[in-house]
Amino acid sequence: MNDWTLGVIGGSGLYEFDGLKDRRWVKIDSPWGQPSDEVLLGRLHGVNLVFLPRHGRGHPLAPSAINARANIDVLKRAGCTDVLSVSAVGSLREDLAPGMFAIVDQYIDRTVNRPTSFFGAGLVAHVSMADPVCARLSNFAAHAAQRANLKHVERVTYLAIEGPQFSTRAESRLYRSWGCDVIEMTAMPEARLAREAELPYANICMVTDYDCWRTEAAEVDVASILAVMHNNAEGARRLIFALTEMLPELREPSPVDTCLDAAVVSDPAIWDASLLSKLDAIGARRFKK
């Protein structure tokens, strides 16, 4: 049996995939509210897999309605050691064409209406987000993309917007001037919360369209995005298949596994009991009695 339990958060177009052994949908409750859906459990190449459709099966949830805290919490409760996020994105680079894949290195977060932390009044913690993704898992994902014959680029910067509307042309040009490479609506605060949950996180992006900075092109529309998304989702499934095939049986410890050790600043004497109770999965290692 492999040491890894890989959580996969599927974005637009990736709701399920074949090849899982002992597959079953399981409902996991969270004190942080309603997660997007049940989780699909199974095994692929000996790796325990926990799949969660980010928007819910059938895509009932808009980006701002996704309860990222509950989603990360249920993945932690399901025993995940690492999380691979799959997102459908728009491109802010001419050479990053629809149909390609991009592996995220950095984020710029422009979301405004979403809870961004498991911590707060009575129990304060500050995790580092200088390097917001797991270099090891991202490297494995890059090699898996190569093995799956997917055209891809690495070390891209992801711009997260609130949505649900797409950008204006002026906004899109501004984001390009900032050095952003792709744009989407869901990986933040997801990546922040994964870090607080001590879950190494990597983000694979499926490019579905050029954002509207290209003045000679039409504006972004859902119909054209969906047309590309079907093929991209099949590529994402091949990538996950290759990734589970190549993961080493022994999972070496990651610095993220213990990042809460240096993050909590509140005096234990004043920790809020109700918040501590909600952290029973997220902080199980850090706050164990």
Active site (catalytic) residues? 209, 211
Residue found under tokens 């993704």 = 133
* End-to-end CA, the chain: 30
CB neighbours of residue 239 within 10 Å: 25
242: helix, strand or coil: helix
Residue in 185, 212, 193 with CA at minimum distance from that of residue 88: 185
Q: What's the rounded Cα separation, in Å, for the pair 166 and 135?
A: 30
Q: DSSP letter string over 22-73?
A: EEEEE----TT---SS-EEEEEETTEEEEEEETT-TT----GGG--HHHHHH
CB neighbours of residue 235 within 10 Å: 21
CB 225 within 8 A of CB 88: yes
Residue found under tokens 């579905």 = 208
For 200, half-sphere exposure in the C-beta direction (CA atoms, 13 angstrom radius) is: 21
